[in-house]
Amino acid sequence: MTKEHRSVEYTVVIRQPQEVFFSFVYFEVYIDQFFAEQLLYGFLLLYLTARALGEKRPAPGILAAGAIFAACQCAYLLTGRRGLSAAGMFLGAAAAFGRGKRIRGAFLLFLITFCFGGTLQAVLALFSVPVCAGALAAFFLLSFSWRRYERCRRQKEQEADVSLFWKGRNIALRALVDTGNRLREPITQKPVSILDAESARKFLGDGWERENGFFLVPYHSIGREHGWMRAVILDKMQISTPSGKSEIEKPLLAVSNERVSLKDTYQVILNPEHIKI
C-alpha cells in the first residue's frame, strides 16, 4: 500500500510591536501675572481703538476698561470657554466708549487686536525680547503708523484743485485750504485767498495792476509784522475738494510777494470761507 506524503508550507509573519511615544508639556501659569499682562494688552488695544475712533478718553477710564478685558481673559483661561474672550472685548469697548460708538469700537478693537497680534509676532521673531517689551514695541509701531495715516488723510482733505477765470483767461492750479487764513479786504470785508506770485505773473500778465487797478490787503506773517498785498477781483473760481465742488463768483485774490509753497506743491492758499460745500 502506497502512502502519499504531502508537504505543506507555512508563511509565518512576525509583527514587530509598535512603540508609541507621548510627550507631555507642563505649563505653570500664575493668574496674577497673567492678569497683569492682559491688563497691559487691554490698555494698549483700547488706547489704539480710541485713537482710531477720534475719542479722547482719560487714561484711568481706559485702564478700568482694560481691567474688565483682563478679567474676562482670566475667566476664559480658568474655564476654557472661548466666548468669555470675545465677551471681554465687547465689555471693554462698552466701558471705554460712549453709547453711540460701542459697536463700532468693538469692531475696531477686533481689527486692531488682529493687527497687534501680527505685529507682535513679527517683533518677537525678529528680536529676542520679552513678550511685554514686544507688546510695547508693537504698540508704538501701530501708533506711529496711525499718526502717519492721519497726517496724510488731513493733508489730503486740505488740498484742492482750483480753476481761475479772468477776462477770457483760465488756469488750473493746486491749492491748500488754510483754516488760519482770515484775510479780508478792509473796506468790503470780502474774504481773500492768496495767489502765488509766479502763477499770478503767468495768469494775469505783467502790468495787470496798471491796466485794471487793484486793492490793498493788509496782512501779518512770521518775520514781517505788517505788510500789504495787491489783490484783484476775478470773474469766478471753481474749487474741487474730496468733499465736493463749489464755484465762487467774483472772488478776491491777493497776489503774494513771494512763493506760497517752498516745494511748489500748491500755488493758491484758499480762505476757508471760499469753500462752500
Q: What is the pLDDT of residues 172-189, one digit of tens each?
A: 999 988 877 778 888 888
Look over the chain and give the mean of its residue pLDDT values, rounded to a whole number: 82
Whether 21 maps to a domain, the answer reads no
Whether 224 maps to a domain, the answer reads yes
Cα angle, residue 36 at apex, residues 49 and 55 outer, rounded to 5°: 20
Looking at the structure, do residues 36 and 121 belong to the same domain, yes or no?
yes
Whether 152 maps to a domain, the answer reads no
pLDDT in tens, 125-150: 888 888 888 888 999 999 898 888 88
Residue 264 pLDDT more than 80? no
Whether 11 maps to a domain, the answer reads no
How far apart CA 117 and CA 121 sit, in angstroms, is 6
For 64, left (φ over 0), alpha (ψ -120 to 50), or beta? alpha
Label residue 276 by pLDDT band (50, 70, 90): low
Give the structural domain span for 52: 31-128
pLDDT in tens, 56-71: 888 889 999 999 999 9
Looking at the structure, do residues 263 and 180 belong to the same domain, yes or no?
yes
pTM exceeds 0.85, yes or no: no
Cell output for 115: 493687527
What per-residue confidence (pLDDT) applies to 70?
92
Residue 3 pLDDT more than 60? no
Strands 192-195 and 252-255, bridge-based pairing:
parallel
How far apart CA 34 and CA 15 sit, in angstroms, is 50
Count the domains in the chain: 2
What per-residue confidence (pLDDT) applies to 2?
47
